[in-house]
Structure formats: C-alpha cells, structure tokens
A and B are shown apart, each in its own frame.
Chain A
Amino acid sequence: MSTTSVLGGVVRRKEDPALIRGEGLYVDDIKLPGELAAAFVRSPFAHARISSIDVSAAIAMDGVHAVYTADDVRHLGPVLAQVAVGTLRPPLADGAVHHIGEAVAMVVADDRYIAQDAVDAIFVDYDPLPAVVDLKAAAADEIQAHEGVSNVLLAWSGQDWWPGVTDELPDAKPAIEEAKARDDTVTVSLEMVNQRLIPTAIEPRAVLANWHAGYGSFELWSSTQIPHALAGAIAKIFGLPSNKVRVVAPEVGGGFGLKLNIYPDEILCCFASKELGRPVRWTETRREAPASSIQGRGWVGTATIVGTRDGRILGYELDAICDMGAYSQNFTVAIPLLGLFVAPGQYDIPTAYTLTCVVTNTPTTDAYRGAGRPEAAYYLERIIDRYAREIGMDPAEVRKKNFWQPDQFPATTAVGLTMDSGNYAANLDALLEKVDYEGLKARRDAARAEGRLVGIGLSSYVEVCGFGPSALAGLGFSWSEYGQPAAFNGSGVVRVNPDGSCTVIIGTGPSGQGHETTWAQIVSDQLGIELDQIEVLHGDTAESPFGVGTFGSRSLAVDGTATYEASARVKDKAAAIAAHLLEAAPEDIRFADGGAHVAGSPDKTVSWPEIATSAYQPHTLPDGMEGGLESTAVFSPGNATWPFGSHLALVEVDPDTGNVEILEYWAMDDCGNVVNPMIVDGQIHGGIAQGIGQAMFEAAIYDDDGNLLSSSLMDYPIPTAADLPSFRLDRTTTPTDVNPLGVKGIGEAGTIGSAQTIVNAVVDALAPLGVEHVDMPLRPRNVWQAINGARG
C-alpha cells in the first residue's frame, strides 16, 4: 500500500486528546436525573444450596427501593448465550450457587453506599456442597459442579464438528501411532498448564438502564463490545421489537473479550428500571470484578510430537481438559474450538486432538484476548522447542523445516480450514536477521560459560481472525434463541454532509483500538476529505447499522472493508455530481486537496462543500439522480484472515532468587496491509504485555473449595509499563485477498505469540541444569523451585 496516501501512514489518534484529558464519556460519566444505584449480594461459597434469604432488614432501610431474588427475576432467564451448550446462567442464583461471587440478590437504593449497606444486611443461609475445581477431578465426574449433571460438556475431537464449513477429514491418529512405533523416530511429550487468567480492563463493566414507560422502550448504556447483540437480547427477554431497545456503548475502557458477553446485571438493571420507573445504574467494583465477569484460559493438557531425528515432524497431538467454569456464557465452549482452528500453527503436520470441555465451580470462562489461540500456540510452540532440544537441532531450523511454503497457499490445514496467505520462512528469517541470531546465541553461550543462566526463546504463531466467514457463525448452535442473526458480516455508513464534512457510522466500536482514526484514514484516502473533517460514530444501536461486535480482531477486516466499499460508492456518486458541475466526464474526475478536479485540468475544480451542497439540492443534480450523498455497505468475507509472525526473547534468570529479567524482546508480525503503523504497533505492545502477564505474573488461584485466593490486584499482579522491556517491533507484509484492503487483524497477535516465547527462553536458560519445563506464571518462586528441583 502506498505510503504517500494517509493509508499506511502514521496518523496520530484522533480520539486521544479527549481520552488523555479525561474528557471522554464512559458509562459512569453519563448522568440521568433520578438515578438509583444497584449492588449485589455475592456468594461466598463455590457450591452450596441456598436454604433461605432474609432480606427484611435490608428492605426496611431508609433509601432502599427494592431487593430482588431469584423468585422475582426467574422469568427473565436464563442469560442468553450465542453458543448455548451447557447450563446457562440464571439472572440471580436460583436455589443453589455454583461459583464464588455469583449474584444471589440485587439491591436498588438511592445511592451506592446505601445499596452496599443493604447488601451487608441481607442474610443468606447456605448449605455448602462439595466443590469441584481441579480439572482432572472434574473430568472424572466424581464431584459434580451442578448436582446430577455431568461435568463433561463435550469433547472437540474427530472430524465431525464443522459441517458446511469444511470437508470431512481423515483421522490423523493411525498415521501418528505408526510413526511413533518406528524406531527411527523420537516422541516427546509434556504435560502443561495454561493457567486461568482474570481479564482486567482499566474500566470495569458499567451499566445504566432507563425504561421509558411512555414510549415502551429501553435505553441502556453499557461498557460492552457487542451493543447490537445486547439490544437484541434485551428485546427478546422483555418481549419488545429490537427497535424499542437502544443500547449505547460510549467510550469503552478496555474489553479483551470480557465485555463480549451478555451479563445478568445488564438484564437486571433494565428490569429494575421498568419496575421502579427510575434509571438504575450498576458499576462493577474492582473488588467484585474478578468473579462477576468472565475469566479466561484454564487448560491442563499434554502435547506430543513424533518426528524424525532430522527435524521432520510426523505428527502432533494435543489432549487437553479445558475449564468452562460453572455456567456457559456467550462463547464458552467455542473458545477451545477457536484454539483448534490454529492447532497445527504454521506447520504442515498431521494433527490429532481432543479438547474436553468441563464444568467446574468457578466463574465462567469465555473469550480473553486471543481466546483459545494463545493456549493452542502455547502447547504447540512449547513442544516444538522440546522436540528441537531432544534431537539437538536449532529450534528455528526445526520450525522452518515444517512450515507451509508460500506456494502452497491457500493452504488447507490438518484441521480442515483454509489459510488465506502466508510467507512463514521469510518472516522468521527477517526476525533472525534483525536480532542477529547467531550473534545472540554467541552472547548467550558466553554468558553461560560464566555460569549465568541466559536463554533465548522463539515462537512462531498463526492466528485466525477477522471473522467471517458468516457460515462459521452458524455452526449448528442455537443462535436463534439469542434474538440475533447467526452472522459474521460487517457494516459501515459513509455520509457526506451538506457542508462537505463526512460522518462515518460503523457497526463495531473501539475499546481502545483507535477505530476513529483508522476508519477516518480509510475514508479520507478514498474521498480526499481531510481527516479532521471526518467524524466516526459507533456503539449506538439507534444510529449505527447492525454490527456483530468488536472481537476476534475482526473490525478492520470486516467492518472496515464495508466502510471502504461504502466510501467507494459515495466516491462514484460524487464523481458524477462533480462531472455534472464541471461539465466533464465522470471517469475524468480526480479527488484531491479537499475537492475534485478534471484530470489534466487542475484549475477546473469543485470543492467538497460544493459537491455536497449540490447533492442535497436535487435541482442542481444530473437528471434522474437521487439526492443525498450517502451509502451503507455490508461486507461478508469469504474466509477468516490468518495473520502470523515470530517472536524472540532473551532472558536472564537469577539463580539465587528465580527472578526472570527480560533483556530483549523482538516481534516480527505480519498482519497483511497496515492502515496505521502506530496503531498496529500499539496493539502489538498491549498484546505482548498481556502475553508476558500470563507468562510471568498472572494467575487466578483457587483453593480446593473454590475460593478465589487471587481476588484483588494485590494478589493478582498485572504487568505495568515499568515491569516490561522496550519491545522491538518490525513487520513483514503478506496481504490477504479475502478483502480488498488486504488487511488481516492485529488485536490479539501479540498475546498469541508471546507467552511461550518467554517460557521457551526461560527453559532455554535453565537447560544447562536439565530443566525441561516450568509452568506459568514464571514467578520467581516457581522458577526457583525448578532450579532447586533440577539441582536435587
């Protein structure tokens, strides 16, 4: 893409001045007259029957308007899920609680302080039941998370799970077993934990609901990634047409998947507003957030590779138990499936897998940045490293030996999906050259010779994102129950106003990704309208076209393309108008410098205000032309997109404490064409930070009774900028032909590539001691334990 246009140029984010000055509008900044505040009684037990709830003292308190329990709200449930496999969540615990922090009762009061006092005055009598937390125990089904219901929801395995999207696949297992039996092959296996994480958006979730009795309609502000889906769900639950529900997601302070769910509090605030005739607000506290929203990851599994002694992988197996938590929410069981989509990574290798989805007495798991794909990349890239070490081959060489080659694309992988484009070896070579791989290895070896524990870690990854294709959305689940079409398309409206300014309205919205700037660049590039004349609106279902939501790194590739197509149509019409005004042929019209001119006659020009004014004065238009200058486009991609890349880290371990220091971190990502390199780099920075967070810091830790021990930021350390090295980023560019912009997606790549890069580096540092694996997080204590264990 040409860097002389605004497309591909570093453009400062239009949204930042307001956000940086604290002048952006988040849900909590929106105030309505007569607001009431809600607070929830939350379960202190992971599994218990509720024998009684005494709300009498609470309801008698001054300033308390209502206390609701399951009896009041049962009819609203269960909370709708897009992939409705497993037990869905009741709006309030109904007869039993199934995880710590589950909402049991709702108080609505004059303000949040009174509401909290009332919460403290509610007495719930619990009859504790045994809880199941450990994944293997859950799979064995000895203790059931829901009484009388098997913990095992389903196992993703075999070839029968995406009819209509892929052809039936041959079973890879026999060939893999045969390879293992050969005496010229090696087989390596590692059991590894990909621990549970607590998504920690800087802005917790926040809800403000307002029922308009006179109009029979709801207004609902929510810090959500899926305003249209939420509107559909609320409409369905309350028996309204969806045009009677307006959902607004204003500024959203971080999403990462945790805001990609319908939550009970959104439904209950609507309910309470309708019951009480007042607006009702609930803002999640940092204290309750770990258990009142979804968590992520949570796999225990074994990865196995069989291969030749010269580095050819003959088979890869992944057998894991995946933690779904207590209830299924939006995508819950589909998260491991997303991991399976990229199970074979960048490699042309036979792959067999079993991912068993089990229920436990813990908060629900769902999408968290990467959603299944970081887990999959972790298992594969860790075991490849283990294999390389076993056969004494450089891990970069092993990877290259098994990559898909550029001339094999589009490539249909071992799991039956077709990858759009890739140039894996060139990307890895670019990284190795950039880091001076040989020099780096020499530096490591010299440090080692001095007795220091220095290691290099490498990981390649492939991501599937930009969802599409639409058929993928209909994988046979009960979408119809959800009040939404089963679709993965995207939309955009481009409107040139009478004064020549431009309003763009999009079906997805940012939670930090810079949509306002990126979309303005796309439109500005097409129309030649200055960036500051373009306003990008989003997140308000009353004004924006139907949009599936911001997740799976899909906004640009799908909704961005729709906007691109809408602006192309506006451009065609504007060219016809300009041609009419300039008495020229439309095909001779060129757009530049805030207007249009005739090719070859730069002095024959009309400005955008002149073109736009004409569009809204039909008598000045060519005969028969409809007035207005606006287009809506819907884009339905034929495939997902498949970004990829390779990351490399150099680390040093302090042998006395187990402390890990990241000395260098490089990433070579490839997300196809780039609209704004600065925004792309920002996404990679944040993604790597979250991957390193998993690798080194974060863990949702439960005791055997299901108590969340890491329930505050004191016990759940997330990395800050001061804890991280300067990332060194570069990119290769392999466009996709799935969309006309050639763009893929970059929201999750950093996370998918980074955790195992760090672990591979630390294991490399500890290799001289004979350490083969250390489970994440690589907190000093865990690394020290590994060192100690290895030293005997």
Chain B
Amino acid sequence: MYPRKFDYTAPRTIADAVAALAGDEGAKVMAGGMSLLPLMKMRLLSPATIVDIGRIDGLDRIEDRGDHIAVGALVRHAETAASDLVQTHAPALARAASLTGDVQVRNKGTTCGSLAHADIAADQTAAVIALGATMVATGPGGTREIAAADFFVDTLTSALAPDEILTEVRIPKGGSGSAYDKLGRRGGRSDYAVAGAAAWVDKTNGSITAARVAVTGVGTKPMLVEAVGAALVGTDGSPEAIAAAAEHATEGVTLLEDLYGSEEYKAHLAKVYAARALTEALGG
C-alpha cells in the first residue's frame, strides 16, 4: 500500500505526453488511476515516472463523427454510461460502463483506461470488441488504428507500444442492436465479471445479416468468438437459433479458472451470457 519512489509529470499536450513516454523506458500513462495506483501500492508495478494525461485538453469528449462516435481518453465510465450518443449507437458499451466497479470508480476511471489496462475480467473490453470498434493510438510516429478484436493481446497486455497513448476509441454506427450482460463476483452484476458477454447484431428482413459476440472473464483475455456470430448469421434470430449459436461461445477461448469459477463453470457461463446478450441485442 506504499508505492516505491516515482517521478510525476503532467504534460498539457498529447505531443508532450508522448515525448515524456518515449524518453523514459520506465514511464507509464495514468488516466483515472483506478487500476494503476492499486498495482503500484501493492508494489506489483513500480513505474519510474507517471505521465498523468489528466490535464490534456480535448480528451474528455464523446463526439458524433457521422458514421461513428468517438470516446476520448479522459471520458469517465460514468460519462460513457450516461451519454445519449453511446446509449443510442452503442448500448453494449453504455451498459458495460454502467456495470464497471462502483460509483467512485465510475466517476474517476476512464473507458480508455479500462481498455488499455486489458484486464481479463473487464466489462467494456468485450463491448468494444462486439461493437467492432477501432482503437486510435498516438505515438512518436503519429497515430495508428487498431481493430478492437486485435487490441487485447494477453492478460493485462494490449497492442499498445509503451510509448503510445490510446487517444480515443471509435465505434461505428449501424446494426440493429447491441447488449452486454455479466455475472459479477459478488453475484448479480456486482463487481468484476465472473463471466460476461457483449453482442452486436444486424438484422434485416427477419434475417441476421451480421453478428459479433465477445466474451470476458472466462479466459486469458477478452475476445471475439467468431464462431457464435457465424452460426447466427442467416438464421432468424429465434431463441433456438440463439441457443445453438451460443453453444460455440468458448471456441478459441483459452479458459482460465479462478476462485469464482472452474473452467467447466466458466465455459457454461460463456454460453449462458452469449445467449443473454444476443437475446437482449435482438430486443428480446
């Protein structure tokens, strides 16, 4: 609970922040600090320098960009959850943000911070994957785009380079619905996900034309389970079709047991929540 010594800097521009990161191998970005500070206090992580991006202008916005919405690096969970834009175009993300942590965490922690942190049981990770989002990373060489499905590499490991900042996440508009649901560690939807799933679907003329399901909490990383979407496409999205598609929910997932669930249980829950998220995304 007492971190090692570290330096602290709070640059005013993205360029300065990137420079601070690039010039210091031991530097770490801090946004809301909700995950970074506990790790430092437990001395599991001891960055030489904290680069606090909290004072950079313009990162705290949720913007309508025509074909997509963009959530900036300093948008808090609570803001994501309450945003009309997010609720309208990305209900799965709004819901996942509303189920992240408690009131204090939601008022301090950021959506992008949660994504960059890449916890295996985080909520919003699954939502952005299912929504087909694009992550925008800014580094010394400029910006690059990373598909959400490729962003989560391993436990607590994202595709960001150490000197890159996740400046925003872009969520395409479109589709007929999306949803997120989870079982929390304290039962109900309380606390980190024992298992959770996000679903995005597009249904035209009574038939599913596209679908994506991502799971979280059950394996070594939050991930897109392509087999579920593939199984649903072309069906009518009936409860039977959903149940059959959800059976694929662990395909390609490296299951990981913890105090809250055996592999068998987690695999079962992945299917249950894939079906629940799909049902809700389809308005059921």
Contact = CB atoms under 8 A, between A and B. Distances in A.
B187 A780 contact: yes
B194 A780 contact: yes
Contact of A660 (B43, B187, B261, B272): B187
Contact of B43 (A120, A696, A701, A784): A120
A112, A656, A659, A780, most chain B CB atoms within 10 A: A780
B186 A710 contact: no
Interface in B258-284: 259-262, 265, 268-269, 272
Chain B interface, >50% SS class: loop
B265 A784 contact: yes
Interface in A652-709: 656-657, 659-661, 696-697, 701, 709
A117 interface: yes
Contacts of B272: 656-657
A657 B197 CA distance: 14
Interface stretch (B1-9, B22-30, B88-96, B109-117): B1-9
Nearest to B192: A714
Nearest to A710: B259
Interface of B: 1-5, 41-43, 102, 183, 185-188, 190-192, 194, 259-262, 265, 268-269, 272
Contact of A113 (B2, B185, B269): B2
Given A116-B2, A117-B4, A781 B187 contact: no
Contacts of A779: 187, 260
B186 A697 contact: yes
A781 B5 contact: no
Contacts of B190: 720, 722-723
A285 interface: yes
19 contacts: A113-B5, A116-B43, A285-B1, A287-B42, A656-B272, A657-B269, A657-B272, A659-B183, A659-B187, A661-B187, A697-B186, A717-B186, A720-B190, A779-B260, A780-B183, A780-B194, A780-B260, A781-B260, A781-B261
Contact of B188 (A112, A661, A710): A661
Nearest to A693: B186
A287 B1 contact: yes
A719 interface: yes
The 4 closest A-B pairs by CB, nearest first: A285-B1, A116-B2, A717-B186, A656-B272
A544 B259 CA distance: 47
Interface in A85-143: 112-113, 115-117, 120
Contacts of B43: 116, 120
A56 interface: no
Given A661-B188, A720-B102, A781 B2 contact: no
Contacts of A112: 2
Nearest to A696: B187
Interface string A36-50: 000100000000000
Nearest to B191: A717
B42 A723 contact: no
Interface of A: 39, 112-113, 115-117, 120, 285-287, 656-657, 659-661, 696-697, 701, 709-710, 712, 714-715, 717, 719-720, 722-723, 779-781, 784-785
A662 to B, nearest CB: 9
Given A113-B2, A285-B1, A781-B194, 20 more contacts: A113-B3, A113-B5, A115-B2, A117-B4, A117-B5, A120-B43, A287-B41, A659-B187, A661-B188, A696-B187, A712-B42, A715-B259, A717-B185, A717-B186, A717-B191, A720-B186, A720-B190, A722-B190, A780-B194, A781-B265
Nearest to B276: A656
A712 B259 CA distance: 12
A117 B4 CA distance: 7
Contacts of A709: 259
A134 to B, nearest CB: 18
B187 A723 contact: yes
B187 A701 contact: no
Contacts of A720: 102, 186, 190
B176 to A, nearest CB: 25
Nearest to B265: A781
Contacts of A660: 187
Contacts of A701: 259
Nearest to A117: B4
Contacts of B185: 717
Contacts of B2: 39, 112-113, 115-116, 285
Contacts of A712: 42
B1 A781 contact: no
Nearest to A39: B2
Contacts of B188: 659, 661, 723
B181 to A, nearest CB: 11
A446 to B, nearest CB: 24
Nearest to A697: B186
Contacts of A117: 4-5
B17 to A, nearest CB: 26
B2 to A, nearest CB: 4
A113, A712, A781, most chain B CB atoms within 10 A: A781
A715 B121 CA distance: 13
B1 A723 contact: no
Nearest to A116: B2
A785 B265 contact: yes
A115 B191 CA distance: 33
Given A709-B259, A714-B192, A657 B183 contact: yes
A665 to B, nearest CB: 15
A143 to B, nearest CB: 25
A39, A116, A696, A710, most chain B CB atoms within 10 A: A116
Contacts of B262: 781
A113 B190 CA distance: 34
A57 to B, nearest CB: 15
A524 to B, nearest CB: 38
A553 B74 CA distance: 49
A113 B2 CA distance: 6
B36 to A, nearest CB: 15
A715 B258 CA distance: 9
A722 B42 CA distance: 27
Contacts of A717: 185-186, 191
A101 to B, nearest CB: 14
A363 to B, nearest CB: 18
A709 B259 CA distance: 8
A727 B42 CA distance: 36
B41, B102, B188, B192, most chain A CB atoms within 10 A: B188
Contacts of B269: 657
Contacts of A710: 259
A696 B186 CA distance: 8
A784 B272 CA distance: 13
A116 B3 CA distance: 8
A104 to B, nearest CB: 18
A120 B102 CA distance: 33
Contacts of A781: 194, 260-262, 265
Contacts of A696: 187
Nearest to B4: A117
B1, B262, B272, most chain A CB atoms within 10 A: B1
Contacts of B260: 779-781
B185, B187, B262, most chain A CB atoms within 10 A: B187
A661 B186 CA distance: 11
B1 A719 contact: no
Contacts of B3: 113
Contacts of B194: 780-781
B149 to A, nearest CB: 26
B94 to A, nearest CB: 19
A116 B41 CA distance: 11
Contacts of A719: 186
A785 B260 CA distance: 12
A712 B41 CA distance: 13
B186, B265, B272, most chain A CB atoms within 10 A: B186
A660 B2 CA distance: 37
A555 B4 CA distance: 44
Contacts of B268: 784
